[in-house]
């Protein structure tokens, strides 16, 4: 197993044709592995009935955020390198639709509506549209403002916006409207086993896009190309496939353990 290495030349260079930035695969691979372990713990506790006393909030919430926030940020960074974000958005959308259908029919847990893959699809589609009109955010200031806005909207699904003493409640009439769950304002009747609506998560994605655009313009350092931990980079390159197959495998393991 190789370790992250540097070529010894840390000067920036333009993106190489057909070259991969190993650092993105590495970080994404780590997040995917963390996600698989998280879902294993979740299924063991809530489906197989194992007593994992430590798998509780706030650890559970912090762990979940550490996965999804990093994953969306890296996806935003990488959208600036894609040759066809529209195709990527449609691919994610098809997978999200299939996940909704399978989880609805299987009924093992709450069906997944507007989960993380839907979020990837919607965010990538927005990024594609912004690229088309040359309005994709760029630079450190834009990234910082987007991150602050993201933090401020984290309570949107619960009917609040803001942070701490500067929190405001949404009008009750708005939270009673059906059909806004995709945006980030679910009604009382809405439920999902995995919920990542367009807001606030588009903002962390665009935060990554703003940083990625800036880094692309300046050129990436050699170590960003060369960063490599072979298993994690492999997982990072095949993240969508791992996402699709990991839950059936984990559920099969839980079934064997419970038999």
**From 70-74, 185-189, 203-207, the region with the lowest mean pLDDT:** 185-189
Q: What is the pLDDT of residue 20?
A: 80
Q: What is the pLDDT of residue 9?
A: 44
Q: What is the pLDDT of residue 13?
A: 52
Q: What is the pLDDT of residue 7?
A: 36
Tens digit of each residue's pLDDT (9 = 90 or more) over 21-41: 899 999 999 999 999 999 999
Residues 6+ apart with CB under 8 A from 73: 204, 205, 207, 208, 211
- Band of residue 182 on the pLDDT scale cut at 50, 70, 90: very high
- Is the model's pLDDT at 211 over the cut of 90? yes
Residue 19 tokens read as 């070259």
**From 30-34, 105-109, 197-201, 238-242, the region with the lowest mean pLDDT:** 105-109
9-12, Cβ contacts within 8 angstroms, sequence gap of 24 or more: 9/222, 10/221, 10/222, 10/223, 11/221, 11/222, 12/218, 12/219, 12/220, 12/221
Top-confidence residue, 76 or 178: 76
Q: What is the pLDDT of residue 199?
A: 96
251-255, Cβ contacts within 8 angstroms, sequence gap of 24 or more: 251/43, 251/47, 251/108, 253/40, 254/43, 254/44, 254/47, 254/48, 255/48
Q: Is the peptide bond before 106 cis (omega within 30 degrees of 0)?
A: no
- Band of residue 5 on the pLDDT scale cut at 50, 70, 90: very low
- Is the model's pLDDT at 162 over the cut of 90? yes
- Percent residues over pLDDT 90 in the chain: 68
Q: Where are the extended beta strands (E) located within the chain?
A: 12-13, 160-161, 168-169, 220-221
- Band of residue 4 on the pLDDT scale cut at 50, 70, 90: very low
- Is the model's pLDDT at 17 over the cut of 50? no
- Is the model's pLDDT at 93 over the cut of 90? yes
Q: What is the pLDDT of residue 47?
A: 84
H helices of 107-175, where?
116-132, 140-152, 172-175
Average pLDDT on 88-113 reads: 90
- Is the model's pLDDT at 259 over the cut of 70? no
């Amino acid at each position: 197993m190789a370790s992250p290495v540097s070529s010894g030349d840390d000067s920036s260079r333009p993106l190489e044709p057909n070259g991969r930035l190993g650092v993105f695969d590495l970080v994404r691979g780590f997040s995917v592995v963390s996600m698989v372990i998280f879902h294993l713990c979740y299924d063991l506790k809530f489906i197989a009935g194992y007593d994992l006393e430590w798998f509780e909030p706030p650890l559970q919430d912090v762990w979940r955020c550490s996965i999804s926030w990093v994953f969306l940020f890296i996806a935003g960074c990488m959208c600036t390198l894609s040759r066809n974000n529209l195709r990527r958005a449609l691919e994610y959308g098809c997978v999200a639709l299939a996940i909704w259908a399978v989880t609805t029919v299987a009924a093992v847990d709450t069906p997944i509506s507007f989960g993380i893959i839907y979020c990837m699809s919607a965010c990538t589609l927005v990024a594609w549209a912004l690229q088309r009109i040359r309005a994709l955010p760029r630079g450190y200031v834009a990234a910082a403002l987007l991150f602050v806005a993201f933090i401020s909207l984290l309570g949107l699904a619960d009917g609040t916006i803001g942070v701490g003493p500067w929190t405001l409640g949404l009008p009750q009439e708005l939270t009673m409207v059906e059909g806004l769950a995709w945006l980030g304002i679910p009604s009382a009747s809405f439920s999902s086993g995995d919920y990542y609506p367009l807001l606030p998560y588009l903002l962390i994605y665009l935060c990554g896009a703003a940083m990625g655009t800036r880094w692309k313009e300046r050129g990436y350092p050699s170590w960003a190309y060369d960063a490599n931990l072979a298993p994690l980079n492999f997982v990072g390159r095949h993240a969508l496939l791992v996402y699709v197959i990991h839950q059936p495998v984990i559920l099969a393991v839980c079934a064997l353990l419970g038999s």
